Amino acid sequence: MKGVSLFKWFRNVSIAKKLYFTVGIMATLIAIELGALVFSINTLSSVRAYVSGEGLWSKAQKDAMYQLLRYSRTQDEADFEKFKEFMKVPKGDHKTLVELSKKKPDMEVARQGFIEGRNHKDDVDGMIKLFTRFNRISYINKAIKVWSSADSSVAEFIPIGEQLHKEINSPNPSPEKISAIVQAIDPLNARLTVLEDEFSYTLGEGSRWLENLILRLLFSIALTVEITGLTLAIIVSRNIQKGLNEILQSAKAVAKNDFGRKAQAFSKDEIGILANNFNNMAEELARGIREIKRMEQEIREANITLEKKVHQRTAELEIKNKELEQFAYVASHDLQEPLRTTSSFVELLRKQYHGRLDEHADRYINYVVQSSDRMKTLIKDLLDYSRIGREKQFEPVNCDLVLAEVLADLAKVIKENQAVITAGNLPVVNAFQTELKLLFQNLISNSIKFQKQGVAPHIEISTTKENGYWHFQFSDNGIGIDKQYQQRIFIIFQRLHNRSLYEGSGIGLAHCKKIVELHGGKIWVDSEITKGSIFHFTIAD
C-alpha cells in the first residue's frame, strides 16, 4: 500500500517537484557513493599503513638482532646502545597493542605508541580505527593475533640482551656463556620471521578481500544510481509525453470543429491541470460558437429591421445627442458640486482638528481628500473624452502654435522636472484645434510623468509626410513600455503602473487614440523597457 501511495503521490505531484525529487534521490545516492569511496580509500590506506608499519617493525627487529650479535663480538657499548634504540620500535607498537586490547583504551597513549613505532602521524588515526572497528573481521582478527604472538616473541630479545650485557660487563666475561646466550638469538629470529611473513600475508589477503568488496559495493551503488536515475527520468518523461500527446490529439480534433474529443487527465500535475483546462476551454469555445451562430442569425434579422428604422433613428439620435450633451453638463455639475462640498468640509476638518485627533483619523482624512481629488480628475477626464469630436469641421491649424500653447500651459511641470523639449518645423494641418492641442498635451505630459528616476526628460518631436498623411513622432528617454502592453495602453482606464507611483486616471492615451482616429489616422508606439518610447500618429493632409 505504501508503494502504491508513493507512486500515486509521485504521479500527481507537480512537475517541478518531480524533478526536485529525482535530483534529490540522485544526489543522495551519489553522496552515498562518495561516502563509500572515501571510506574505502581511508580503509585501504589504513591497511597500507599496517603493511608499512610491519616493514618498519621487521626491519627494527632485524637491526636489533644484528646489533646484538655484533655486540657479542665487539663488546662495544655503542653497539648495545644501538640495539636498545632499534628495540624502541617494537616497544612502541607493544604499547599500542596493550592499550587497544583494553575495554576502554586511552587513545592518546595508543597514538603515542604508534608514533614511537615510527609510523607516520597522519596514518595513526586510521590504523587505530581499523584495529578498533574491524577487529572482528577474520583477516584483521588473525593479523592482530599474529601481531600479539610476534610482540611476545620479540620481547624475548630484551632479557637476552640484558644477560649478554651483564656477562660482557662482568669482571671475568666467559666466552662460553656469551656463546650460549647468543645461540638463543637465531631460533628466536627464525620464529619471528615466520610470524612476520604470516602477518604480511594475512594483511595482503585482507587487503585484496577488502578491495574486491569495495569494488562490488561501489559498482552496486553506481548501478543503483544509473538505474534509479533512468527509471525516474523515463517515468517523468513518459508521463509528460503521454499527457501532452493527449492534449495534442484533442487540439487537432478541436481544429476540425470536433469538440466532443476530450483530453484525458492522467495525473494532477501541471499536464493534468492543462488537460482539464483545455477541456473546459473547448467546451467554452463550443458554447461560444453556438452562441455566435445564434447571434449571427439574430443580427441578420435585426439588420432587416434596422434598415427600416435607420432614417427614423438618425433623427432620434440627433435629439438624443443634444439631450446627452445637456445630461453631461448637468451630470458634471451635479457630480462635482458634492465633491467640492465634501472636499471643502474635509479640508476644514483637517485644518480645524489636525493633530487633535489620533494619527488614524488624520490619515483617514487624507485618504478622503486624495479620493476626492482623484474623482475630480476622473470626472474632468471623462467629460473631456465625451466632448471629443463635437467640433463641426476641420480648420487649418499651425502645429508650431499649438505646441507653443501646450508648452506654456505645462511650463511649471517642465521646469520642475528639468525637461528638454525640441521640435523641428511642424506643419499646418486640417484638424480640430482643441483636440490637437489635447493630443500634444497628453503625449508630452506622459513622457514627463514616466521619466527615468534621476534622469531629466528629453522629448523630441518630428514629422514626415508619407502617402498623403503627416506622420508625427514623439520620442522620449523614459522608462519604456513592455511589448506585451503596447496595444493595451490605448484602451480607456488601462493602467500599467501602481497609482501610488504614477498619478492618473488611465484615460489620457485613450483620448489620444480617439482624437487621432477622429482625424482619419492611427496611433501606435515603439518602445523597450528602460530605452524610452516613440509614439507615432498620423493625420490626413
- Residue 423: what pLDDT? 93
Q: Which three cell numbers stand for residue 304?
A: 432587416
Question: Distance between CA atoms of 495 and 476, rounded to whole angstroms?
Answer: 19
The phi, psi pair for 214, rounded to 5°, reads -65, -40
- Residue 103: what pLDDT? 85
- Residue 440: what pLDDT? 94
Hey, is 294 helix, strand or coil? helix
Set out the domains of the chain in order of their start, with CATH numbers. Answer: 53-232 (no CATH), 391-540 (3.30.565.10)
DSSP summary character for residue 457: -
Which residues are CB-contacts of 463 (< 8 A; sequence separation ≥ 6)?
Answer: 399, 424, 426, 427, 470, 471, 472, 473
For residue range 416-466, what is the model confidence (pLDDT) as tens digits? 999 999 998 999 999 988 889 999 999 999 899 888 888 999 999 999 998
- Residue 326: what pLDDT? 59
For residue range 476-525, what is the model confidence (pLDDT) as tens digits? 999 988 888 767 788 875 555 544 445 555 677 888 898 898 888 999 99
Give the distance, in angstroms, between the CA of residue 436 and the centroid of all CA atoms in the same chain. Answer: 50
Question: Distance between CA atoms of 271 and 96, rounded to whole angstroms?
Answer: 66
In 75-184, which ranges are continuous DSSP H helix? 77-86, 88-100, 107-116, 121-133, 138-154, 157-168, 175-182
H-run or E-run covering 271: helix 270-353
Question: Distance between CA atoms of 232 and 237, rounded to whole angstroms?
Answer: 8
- Residue 522: what pLDDT? 92
Which residues, listed in sequence order, are joined to residue 519 by a DSSP beta bridge? none
Angle (nearest 5°) at CA 441 between 438 and 445:
140
Low-confidence ranges of the chain (pLDDT < 50): 1-2, 317, 385, 498-501
Question: Distance between CA atoms of 68 and 52, rounded to whole angstroms?
Answer: 24
Which residues, listed in sequence order, are joined to residue 527 by a DSSP beta bridge? 533
- Residue 403: what pLDDT? 94
- Residue 6: what pLDDT? 63
Hey, is 257 helix, strand or coil? coil
Which residues are CB-contacts of 182 (< 8 A; sequence separation ≥ 6)?
Answer: 68, 69, 72, 164
